Amino acid sequence: MSNVILMIFTGLSVGAVYFLLGSGLALIFGLMRVLTFAHGAYLTACAYAGWFVLRHSSLAAGPSVGTLLFALLVGVVVGGALAFLTERVLLRALYQRDHLDQLLVTAGLGFSLVALLNGIWGPDSRAVPTPPWFTRTTTEIFGAHIARGDFVLIGVAVLLLIALEAFLKHTRHGLVVRAGVENREMVRALGIDVRHSFTLIFTVGGAVAGLGGVLAALYANAVNTTIGDTYLLYAFIVLVVGGLGSLRGAAIAALAVGLLQQFTNFYVNPGLGEILSFILMGAMLLLRPEGVGGKKIRLI
């Protein structure tokens, strides 16, 4: 029983990071029809940014709550800034061309950014100082010892889902985004510049990926230059399974993939969870291309 509870919580935590990256990808694809490969690299860059802030506190004592919040903020700002610049400088020039060129530019950017990080800090993992209460203090639930970090990750993901939904439902920008997902041409015909929404959504996606990067670094106690690629692949699964452009679909898919992975890896065979996740993605693409998110392409 305690194992099951533990698996549920670790699955949810892993799913939370998938959701942080996948929700950004889902919004971006829904609105802009751009499949971005760059957000995995933003996640890595922000993980390093978070580590850079945290490493000044000692490993034994761990950073204070203030430093931790500051690291998260830095991650959000760096991720947002990177995404903002990408959209303005690189993608904007390509909206007249086909989607493949946009995909290629983001892939090239991700490739370069990871190479730059490799050049500065090398390919070896770096230890991330984490407050003791984050990983070592546990709460007992039905006999299972759950680390506080799990609650933080799950909490952040839930808050983000609520915040994004509120933004899309109750603000004018959110309204334009939802309308743009439904019918971009019509929004333009009404005299609204959709490109502002493109910038906004791409930046939000980057900021959320940045938040995910710092959290993933804290959760794993380590950063290296390959974490972004790994999370990006699972974010793709979340995007496909959840439905292109569906926020709630992404949440459900992230949860499902995280749990599936933890349970099969623990109870059946290590590696099987990953394999099943990719088979799930292939099957969804072929059998239900619109994903669990429901209608053709919907955001909420």
Partner 1 sequence: MTPLVLVGVVALLACAPFLAVPGLGVLPDTVGGIGSLQVLGTAYVIAALAITYDLLMGYTGLVSFGHGMFFALGSYGFVMLLAFTPVGFWTAAASAVGITVVAAVIVNAVALRASLIAYSMVTLAAAQLMAIAIGQNYLGSGGADGVTIPFEKLPAALVGIVNTKHVYWLALALLVGTFALARWLTTTRIGHVWRAIRENELRAEVMGFTVYTYKLVVALIASTLAGVAGVVYAILLGAADPGETSLSFSIGLVIMLILGGRGRVWGALLGAVVYTLLQQRLPAITSSAGVAALPDVVRVPLAQPQLLLGVVFILFVLFLPGGLAGVVDNGVRAVRRRRSGPPTGVAADGELAAAVSVPASAEPTR
Question: Which residues contribute to the site for partner 1 (CB under 8 A)?
Answer: 35, 37, 90, 93-94, 99-101, 103-105, 107-109, 111-116, 118-120, 229, 233, 236-237, 240, 270-271, 274-275, 278-279, 281-282, 285-286, 289
Residue 233 CB, shortest distance to partner 1, in Å, is 6
The 3-class SS string of 98-149 reads CHHHHHHHHHHHHHHHHHHHHHHHCCCCEECCCCHHHHCCEEEECCEEEEHH
In the complex with partner 1, the residue whose CB is nearer, 61 or 115, is 115
Residue 105 CB, shortest distance to partner 1, in Å, is 5
In the complex with partner 1, the residue whose CB is nearer, 109 or 156, is 109
Residue 240 CB, shortest distance to partner 1, in Å, is 6
Residue 125 CB, shortest distance to partner 1, in Å, is 14
Strand 144-147 versus strand 222-223 pairing type: unpaired
In the complex with partner 1, the residue whose CB is nearer, 115 or 166, is 115
Q: Which residue has tokens 């698996």? A: 7
In the complex with partner 1, the residue whose CB is nearer, 58 or 96, is 96
Residue 164 CB, shortest distance to partner 1, in Å, is 23
